[in-house]
């Protein structure tokens, strides 16, 4: 085993989680930051309607890209368990299996999603002034899904091996390329907002290639041979049993967001514009919390593979404290930077077609209300990330799936009900309500599953005496 692998089965759980989480959290922020860069360039080079059109694709891209991200995350957890068990042979087989499955599934999903993109936008009642911008952007993103999938896979392999810094470096590279390519919108008037999607795909393809080069150079134990690619049904099944529930979980959660988006699109202007742009900023700081959650998956996965259940308990407890730190940072940033960032991303002089009596300041006030309220409930969002990833780390991805089901039904009921009765303010509280219920459900579910795991392990140990 190469010394460069960070062993999370030893040392302080709190320190391990924090140090491992920081690069991941910064990476998620950077990923969302260059997504904001896309919107900024589209807004200033084209118009506010084009930028809003890109933003309104959020729930649909979450549906499709979340599916692929769930798969790669699940595959990475299987690898992390072999890393914890110091099983180099199965580590190589896991990487080979992950690559093959990712290529086959991503191509299949890309074809289906591209064909259905227009239909999905109409299903969500996307306003006519935005729908064409949304459609051409979506098609570009979906056609390039295999590149996105391999980018995610390279990052998950590195994290499973205990390296959370290299994914951050490749993400920085991705951001630089993406912003550079997007800047062509200023000098090429014939380009549309579809180019923002293609710029993202090209940058992710380059970063994926760099990621795999680093993987095979930094970790010689992962150097693959033909034997590693031999089809083994049970081995493939193990990866799919971990990856598919996580993918379905993303699909279910995204479906709830789509129900919410439909309710928002049915509100009078400028509610869709305010929510679409405010949610971009909210995602920037909300996803910072997910860094700690992903760290928990690797931590639990390695210790589960090493059968160090006491360390899993200590790490989960430490996660509550680590999450409090991350939550305060995210909450302050989202509350105080929402309006300043909105004025950059959505400048007043670019707003077109506002209803009579509605000013850009009214839009900024709505964004502040939306983002400020969301941030007050961030700790419950963190509980979802932490507990879900911890469940997946100990092999309970099917149980974690039910967390997404819970969130879906809360949004399914709450979004139209609150929107119809309270308008924009109803939508503002629909997300926090889903976070509260989902976060508490997943936290309790992990505790129950972990107690049962320990009892089963103790029973086996006793019977072997």
pLDDT digits (tens, 9 = 90+) for 224-233: 888 888 888 8
In this predicted structure, which of 185-199, 310-324, 379-393 has the lowest mean pLDDT?
185-199
| pLDDT digit string, tens, across residues 65-115 | 888 888 898 898 888 888 888 888 888 999 999 999 999 999 999 999 999
CA-to-CA distance for 114 and 94, rounded, in angstroms? 29
Average pLDDT along the chain: 85
pLDDT band at 63 (very low <50, low <70, confident <90, very high): confident
pLDDT of 408 above 60: yes
pLDDT for 439: 94
66 closest CA partner among 199, 294, 247: 247
Residue bearing the bigger pLDDT, 334 or 46? 334
What average pLDDT does range 210-214 have in this prediction? 92
pLDDT for 195: 80
Name 160's Cβ contacts closer than 8 Å, sequence gap at least 6: 76, 77, 79, 80, 83, 298, 301
What average pLDDT does range 355-375 have in this prediction? 88
pLDDT of 43 above 80: no
Residue bearing the bigger pLDDT, 224 or 130? 224
What average pLDDT does range 163-185 have in this prediction? 83
pLDDT of 461 above 60: no
Query: Given the structure tokens 């693959």, which residue do they identify?
Result: 224
pLDDT for 197: 82
pLDDT of 301 above 70: yes
pLDDT band at 42 (very low <50, low <70, confident <90, very high): confident
Q: How far apart are the first and last CA of the chain?
A: 31
User: What 3-state class would DSSP assign to 423?
Assistant: coil
Q: Locate 62 and state its tokens.
A: 């979450």
Residue bearing the bigger pLDDT, 317 or 231? 317
What average pLDDT does range 367-388 have in this prediction? 93
pLDDT of 350 above 80: no
pLDDT of 178 above 50: yes
Domain boundaries, the chain: 13-463
Is residue 193 within 8 Å of residue 136, measured between CB atoms?
A: yes
- When mean pLDDT is compared over 176-190, 291-305, 367-381, the highest value belongs to 367-381
pLDDT of 1 above 50: no
With the C-alpha atoms ordered 402, 403, 404, 409, is the resulting torsion angle positive or negative?
A: positive
The 10 Å CB-count burial string (b at 16+, else e) for 144-173 is: bbbbbbbbbbbbbbbbbbbbbbbbbbbbee
CA-to-CA distance for 435 and 431, rounded, in angstroms? 6
pLDDT for 2: 41
């Amino acid at each position: 085993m190469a010394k460069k692998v960070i062993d999370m089965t030893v040392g302080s759980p709190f320190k391990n989680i924090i140090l491992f989480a920081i690069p991941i959290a910064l990476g998620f922020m950077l990923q969302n930051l260059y997504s904001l860069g896309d919107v900024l360039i589209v807004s200033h080079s084209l118009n506010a309607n084009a930028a809003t059109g890109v933003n309104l694709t959020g729930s649909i891209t979450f549906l499709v890209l979340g599916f692929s991200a769930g798969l790669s995350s699940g595959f990475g957890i299987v690898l992390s368990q072999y890393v914890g068990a110091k099983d180099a042979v199965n580590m190589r087989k896991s990487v080979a299996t992950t690559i093959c499955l990712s290529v086959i599934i991503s191509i299949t999903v890309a074809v289906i999603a591209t064909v259905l993109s227009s239909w999905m936008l109409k299903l969500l009642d996307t306003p006519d002034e935005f729908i064409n911008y949304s459609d051409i952007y979506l098609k570009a993103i979906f056609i390039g899904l295999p590149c996105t999938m391999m980018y995610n896979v390279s990052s998950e392999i590195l994290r499973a091996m205990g390296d959370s810094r290299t994914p951050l470096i490749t993400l920085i590279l991705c951001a630089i390329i993406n912003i550079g390519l997007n800047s062509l919108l200023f000098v090429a008037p014939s380009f549309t907002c579809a180019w923002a999607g293609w710029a993202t795909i090209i940058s992710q393809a380059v970063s994926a290639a760099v990621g795999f080069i680093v993987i095979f150079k930094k970790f010689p134990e992962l150097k693959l041979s033909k034997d590693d690619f031999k089809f083994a049904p049970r081995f493939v099944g193990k990866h799919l049993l971990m990856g598919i529930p996580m993918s379905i979980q993303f699909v279910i959660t995204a479906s709830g967001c789509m129900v919410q988006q439909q309710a928002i699109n049915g509100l009078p202007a400028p509610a869709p514009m305010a929510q679409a742009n405010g949610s971009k900023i909210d995602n920037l700081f909300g996803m910072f919390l997910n860094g700690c959650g992903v760290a928990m998956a690797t931590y639990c996965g390695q210790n589960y593979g090493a059968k160090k259940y006491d360390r899993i308990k200590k790490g989960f407890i430490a996660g509550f404290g680590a999450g409090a730190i991350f939550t305060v940072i995210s909450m302050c940033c989202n509350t105080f930077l929402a309006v300043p960032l909105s004025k950059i991303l959505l400048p007043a002089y670019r707003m077109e077609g506002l209803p009579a009596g509605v000013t850009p300041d009214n839009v900024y006030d709505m964004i502040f209300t939306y983002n400020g309220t969301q941030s007050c409930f961030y700790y419950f969002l963190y509980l979802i990330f932490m507990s879900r990833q911890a469940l997946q780390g100990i092999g309970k991805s099917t149980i974690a799936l039910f967390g997404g089901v819970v969130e879906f039904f809360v949004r399914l009921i709450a979004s139209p009900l609150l929107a119809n009765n309270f308008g924009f303010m109803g939508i503002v509280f629909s997300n926090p309500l889903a976070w509260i219920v989902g976060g508490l459900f997943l936290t309790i579910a992990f505790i129950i599953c972990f107690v049962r795991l320990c009892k089963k392990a103790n029973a086996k140990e006793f019977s072997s005496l």
